[in-house]
Structure 1
Amino acid sequence: MILKRSALVLICVLALFAAGGCDDLIRDTSPFVTTATAVPKPVFEFIQVEGGAQLKSYNGKDTAVTIPDEFEGMPVRSIGDGAFSGRTYVESVVIPDGVRSIGNEAFKGCYQLTSVTLPDALETIGDHAFYSCPAIQALELPETLVSVGAYAFAECDHLTDIQVPPGVTVYPEGLFYNCPDLRTMEIAEGVVSLGEGVFYGCSELETLSIPDSVTEIGPYAFYLCQTLPPVELPEAITAYPDGLFAGCTSFTSYEIPPHVTSLGEGVFSKCAGLTRMVIPDTVREIGGALLMECTSLTEVRLPAHLTSLADGMFSGCTSLVSYSVPDSVTELGEGVFFGCTSLSTIEIHDGVAAIGPSAFANCTSLRSIELPPGVTVLRENLFYGCSGLTDYTIPDTIVRVEGGVFYQCTGLATLQIPESVLEIGESAFLGCSGLTELTLPAGLEIIDKGLFFGCTGLERYVVPASVREVGDGAFGDCTSLREISFEGRDTVLGTSLFSGCASLQTVRLPEDLTAIGESLFNGCTSLRSFTIPASVTEIGNAAFYKCTGLERIAFHDGVSKIGEYAFYECGALTAVEIPAGVVAIPDSAFYSCTSLAQATIPATVTEIHPSAFTNCAPGLVIHGQPGSAAENFATSKNLAFAAK
């Protein structure tokens, strides 16, 4: 039987050889067959392609590599995709004269590669072919070259000497992306297109000539070319694409030529050295953030027909001291002057009808501003962070003040709001620490979330009867607020309303209030005594959390629920009488009330959480009915119990 099986295996092996299958490994689970050992890959792995052979992969370990000019009698015509990719040890490569093309990523990531000898007849170089070869300083491209792929020489950090031959008419996307040592480039006549980000990050590029044959330039073509002086572009370029000269910090003055009709977004953004900009009347369209973060800009001339200042147009222009909006302009975009920290004067004519959100945000030197009568809404964050604004009267044409309009206007001491205003958005006055008083319009029905949050100068406040709802945290962190009262009935109060109001002592809540909301008085450390209004039936979670000065709390029998952590760390509280309507005392309700010595619990309470009175006064006495949950709790916690 063994002989028969061995003979069968031999016949199969011979059949494989006869069929040309000798390169395959023979694998068998039979104990009578030994698994063949894998043959090591050759140093140069070739495949046959049309017209000859292609180097598929270099598998050797030599640092200096000379690629053979033929394989099995066939001329080597191409270097395949990724053939040397990641061979970080290779330092030099000589490519034979017969090679016509270099594939995508052929030498990508060859970090030690310093020398590449290209063949005289080379025609194409693929995408990312020499991407991230930082040691290459010079590369001589042959005159036969007609096509170079995207990012072919990107991230070649030390590349200084390279000239693209005239046969290459398209410079693709990212061709020299992040080649910071590249200092000069003469683009040959006949080139028609420069792709997106073609010289992106070439921070030392000082000399660049662009022929008139170029008809197209992509976005961010010269982004972060920090030493590049203003470049003269061909007349065929009538539209400057997005970010074209962004980050060209050596620009000091720039005049847009008259053949240009449109400017994309951020064309000159982050040109930190730019002091003067002239845009001719031929320009009909201007994108957002055109001059964003041009920190030296002091002078700008816009087209006479311009109807709007685009979003973020002058954002971060920290040297701009004054500005007069052109008469043709009817709209100011979002964040148009955001962060113009030196801007102290701005003139806006009556023809302006709309001003976008954050238009003057963080203009810290702005002392005063007069808005035109056509503006009816103060948009979101309009004066955010305008710390130099001290007095402001909202025009009586305004009907709505959106959220955060005066957010962190820390110098604002006086604010007049006309009766025309019917709506004020959340956090509109958040952090206005200089505001000591403010009268809201009589028709206002909602005090939105965080409206006065962090207004640390506010000492007393009366909420008018017209207000039917007060949002979460509306008076949070008003650390100087000592007194507050509500004139209305049925006013709905949000959570954390007075959270962090460390000076609050006197509170008159709305009539008919049914609940002390969650964290309502959280951290009100100056609150000494509090009587729960007769209309209230519920004390929310953490309602008096860390009211460390609270000495007395008076309940009425209508209260039916006390929330978790309701009186957590009320360390001055000495006695508490739970109302008869309560059926449960929840987790940590009186946790760490370190002075609490007397707790009266009615028979209606059937459940007391084990942590309800944890860390109270050492001699805490529980008062209650014999046999009640109160007695059982006292017994389980080894507390004194007094029957009543």
Structure 2
Amino acid sequence: MKKTLLFILTLLLLVIPIQTMAYTVGETIWHEDFAYRVLDITKFNVSFIGVRDTKSGAINVPEQFNDGKGTIFHVTEIGGGGAKCKNITAVTLPETIEKLGDACFGDANIAELTIPKNVKTIVHSAFYNIGTKPKITVTSGNQHFASDANGCLYSKDMKELYSVPSALNPAGGTYNVNESVENIYYSAFHQVAGLRKLVLPKDLKYIEIGFPTITPTDDLEEFELPTGGNSNYKVINGVLCKDTELLAYPRAKTDKDYKVPDGITSIAARAIDKCKFMETIDLNKVTKLNNTSIYGALKLKTITLPKDLEKDNVVGAIASCEYIEEYKAPAGGCVNFDVTDGIVYSKDKSVLYFFPPQKSVSNGKYTVTSSVKTIAKYAFAGCSTITELTIPTNVEKLEESAFNNVYNMTKLSFDEMSKVTTIDKSAFGWCQKLQQATLPSSLTEIGNIFTSCEKLEIINIPNNSKLKTIKKDAFKTNKKLKEFNFKGSCDLEKIEESAFYGLIELEKIVFPKTVSTIEKNAFAGCSKLKTAEFAADAVITTIGQGAFADCGLTSISIPKSVTKLDREAFYNCIYNHRTTKTNQKYPSVNL
């Protein structure tokens, strides 16, 4: 019996194409300029996700394709992100499509689209990042969706509105949503040119809130909700609300000065999104904000906080509003916050929540207030007035994206006696002019805190540093990094995978003697890295796979402590190498 089973298994292995075993669910594969994501490896179904940037005009998505290695893939879905269609103007879908997933046809400008009859599912965010929404026609026989003469996409019973074409061109700028609609989904009105007034159905039951909003369209001035219906929604001076929550503020509402109406105590996520004309806002009786409640306001200069604003969810509630000059407290102040010199702190001033991006800073040099222990997420995001930043002694934590896009900052330093132990990811992300940074000696690990700081050239680690770990991909996006300097003793033990990967300007690294592990690809692709020095009494034991592959190393001395040297550790880079005479594991190395 065992021999029979073994024989059958052997036959199966012979008939199954060995190449199919190389594919994994979620993997992106390319075929003839089209990108697909693998959905399963039994039926070999895939989702079409985009095309190469060189592809333009009209495309026909195939029903299936052969990879040329024995596998036939079946295209059953559209979307899922990971590739775009930015030069595509027309798309024909095959009858095999059953689902339109997230982020279909990214950046494409499509005039018309036909939904095949077998489509059963369209996720609500299917078209959120498309360039212009197409006029949609649903094929006769589709049991799940419907379209109208305007090219709007609905559920079969017309109660759910998914999409309105960008070229709707409503007469007089006013569009009346079909009265049968009860639910309106994300990005339904995406860049509908000329849409100034949106009249909602009187029996509206549900709209999706957050990102993307239902109306990411730049010309909208007001909402309207007819009377006589059965809805919990209401419109106050053109602004859409529900019960006590403000849900959607029209981007082109003409008011320069806006006061949140009495009775409104909450502002939903992305409720005030990229408004064009608002210059001041009084939050009045609001007690609760949500993540990005006020986002990307193009002219907003002054925000007056409400007296009873809660601390929960306030972090990141106001984001990417790059023209704010000051925050104000109401008469009598705030219960939970302190507003000093236009900056928002916790009541005891230990947390800095909001720094106005346009706040005047003397000579561009700014030192954080000494009472601050935590700098909150997005606190300084988008600030343009700081060129040199100093973090004082008492600060202990910098939260994620705290200084995101402080785009004129060129120099960053921490007080010599700094207590900072934690700097969260992208804390200094996208600081486009940052050239030099000196980190605190108290820091124990470094992750990707300088995400996409494209001009960063020098990072200094001070004497007596407590740094133990440089995390995976830490500096991978800092392509101009030339120097990573240890200015004295350092407790560094591990450099993780791809920490310095592809840094083509990095020239030299001198490792602290405490380093024990350099993981795979840690310095791979550092083509100008000519020198990598270890101390005479180094304790390093492991140099990982491809750790220095494709570097510019001309010589290296491998310490006697090394017990594991993975394959291709020095691939394509060593011209002169040696091991220490006392290294019994690698008395000689063929690299």
TM category (shorter chain) comes to: 0.5 to 0.7
Task: Indicate how the Cα distance of structure 1 residues 431 and 519 shifts in structure 2: closer, same or farther if over 3 A, else same.
Answer: farther
Of 386, 392, 400 in structure 1, the residue corresponding to residue 321 of structure 2 is 386
Q: CA–CA distance in 2 between the matches of 1:220 and 1:531?
A: 61
2:422 is aligned, of 461, 466, 469, to: 469
Unpaired segments ≥5 residues, structure 2: 1-115, 118-136, 328-341
Alpha-carbon distance change, 179 to 605 in structure 1, aligned in 2, over 3 angstroms: closer
Aligned to 1:496: 448
Q: Which residue of 2 aligns with 1:214?
A: none
Correspondences of 1:205-244 after superposition (within 5 Å): 241-242=182-183
Tell me the amino acid that sits aligned with residue 449 of structure 1. E
Q: Distance in 1 between matches of 2:287 and 2:565?
A: 63
CA distance in 2, matches of 1:471, 1:358: 19
Q: Does 1:362 align with 2:296?
A: yes
Q: CA deviation at 1:361?
A: 0.7
**Aligned match for 2:238, one of 293, 300, 308:** 300
Structure 1 CA distance for aligned equivalents of residues 544 and 218 of structure 2: 61
**2:498 maps to 1:542:** yes
- Residues 1:598 and 1:463: Cα distance change in structure 2 (over 3 Å): same
Amino acid at match of 2:259: S
Helix, strand or coil at the partner of 1:395: strand
Match of 1:517 among 447, 461, 471: 471
For residues 393 and 310 of structure 2, the distance between their equivalents in structure 1, rounded to whole angstroms, comes to: 19
Amino acid in the other structure paired with 1:395: V
CA distance in 1, matches of 2:498, 2:199: 63
CA distance in 2, matches of 1:536, 1:287: 58
Q: Cα RMSD (Å) of the superposition?
A: 5.4
SS, match of residue 588 in structure 2: helix
Which residue of 1 is the match for residue 307 of structure 2?
Answer: 373
Q: 1:601 aligned to 536, 552, 558, which one?
A: 558
TM-score of the pair, normalised by structure 1: 0.50
**Higher normalized strand content (fraction of residues):** 2
Distance 1:380 1:180, change over 3 A: farther
The 5-angstrom pairing of residues 224-623 of structure 1 reads: 241-242=182-183, 264-266=205-207, 286-287=232-233, 300=238, 308-311=244-247, 313-317=248-252, 319=254, 321-349=256-284, 351-377=285-311, 379-390=314-325, 393-396=342-345, 423-426=374-377, 429=380, 432=383, 435-437=386-388, 444-463=395-414, 465-487=418-440, 489=442, 491-498=443-450, 500-501=452-453, 502-508=456-462, 511-522=465-476, 523=478, 525-527=481-483, 529-530=485-486, 533-568=489-524, 569=526, 571-574=528-531, 576-577=533-534, 580-594=538-552, 596-616=553-573, 618=575, 620-623=576-579
Contact 1:332 1:355 in 2 (8 A): yes
How many angstroms does 1:622 deviate by? 2.0
- Looking at structure 2, the residues matched to 362 and 273 of structure 1 have their Cα atoms a distance apart, in angstroms, of 16
Paired AA for residue 287 in structure 1 = Y
Counterpart AA for 2:515: V
1:178 paired with 2:147, answer yes
1:587 is displaced (CA, Å) by 1.9
Cα distance in 2 for partners of 1:562, 1:276 equals 59
Which amino acid counterpart does residue 238 of structure 2 have in structure 1? V
In structure 2, how many angstroms separate the alpha carbons of the residues matched to 1:541 and 1:256? 53
Residues 417, 285 of structure 1: CA spacing in aligned structure 2 closer, same or farther, 3 A cutoff?
A: farther
Unaligned runs of 5+ in 1: 1-130, 133-153, 158-172, 183-194, 201-217, 292-298, 638-644
Distance 1:376 1:445, change over 3 A: farther
Percent identity for Structure 1 against Structure 2: 19
CA distance in 1, matches of 2:219, 2:435: 51
In the alignment, the residues of structure 1 paired with residue 486 and residue 560 of structure 2 have an alpha-carbon distance, to the nearest angstrom, of 24
Looking at structure 2, the residues matched to 452 and 180 of structure 1 have their Cα atoms a distance apart, in angstroms, of 49
Q: Distance in 1 between matches of 2:392 and 2:227?
A: 45
| In 2, Cα distance between equivalents of 1:196 and 1:551 | 60
Q: Distance in 2 between matches of 1:341 and 1:416?
A: 33
Q: TM-score, normalised by structure 2?
A: 0.54
Structure 1 SS opposite 2:294 = coil
Shift in CA distance, 228/553, structure 1 to aligned 2, threshold 3 Å: closer
Q: Is the 8 A contact 1:394 1:416 kept in 2?
A: no
Partners of 2:347 and 2:468 in 1: CA distance: 35
- Summarize deviations over 1:182-211 as a string: whole Å, max 9, x none: 9xxxxxxxxxxxx9987x5xxxxxxxxxxx
Letter in 2 for 1:178: S
Are the counterparts in 2 of residues 455 and 478 from structure 1 also a CA contact under 8 Å?
yes
User: Relative contact order, CA 8 A, sep 6+: which one is greater?
Assistant: 2
Q: Please tell me whether the aligned partners of residues 270 and 292 of structure 2 are also in contact (alpha carbons under 8 angstroms).
A: yes
Cα deviation for residue 623 of structure 1 reads 4.8
* Superposed displacement of residue 582, structure 1: 2.1
Match of 1:40 in 2: none
What's the CA shift for 1:531? 5.2
Say if 2:267 and 2:293, in contact at 8 Å, map to a contact too: yes
Contact between 1:331 and 1:354, CA under 8 Å: does it hold in 2? yes
User: How far is the alpha carbon of 1:338 from its aligned partner?
Assistant: 1.6
Deviation at 1:382, TM superposition (A): 2.6
State how far apart, in whole Å, the 1-side matches of 2:579 and 2:163 are: 81
Distance 1:498 1:441, change over 3 A: same
Cα-to-partner distance string for 1:75-125 (whole Å, 9 max, x where unaligned): xxxxxxxxxxxxxxxxxxxxxxxxxxxxxxxxxxxxxxxxxxxxxxxxxxx
- What is the alpha-carbon distance in structure 2 between the residues aligned to residue 559 and residue 302 of structure 1? 58
Tell me: CA distance 1:274–1:495, structure 2 relative to 1, closer, same or farther (3 Å).
Answer: closer
SS at match of 2:578: strand
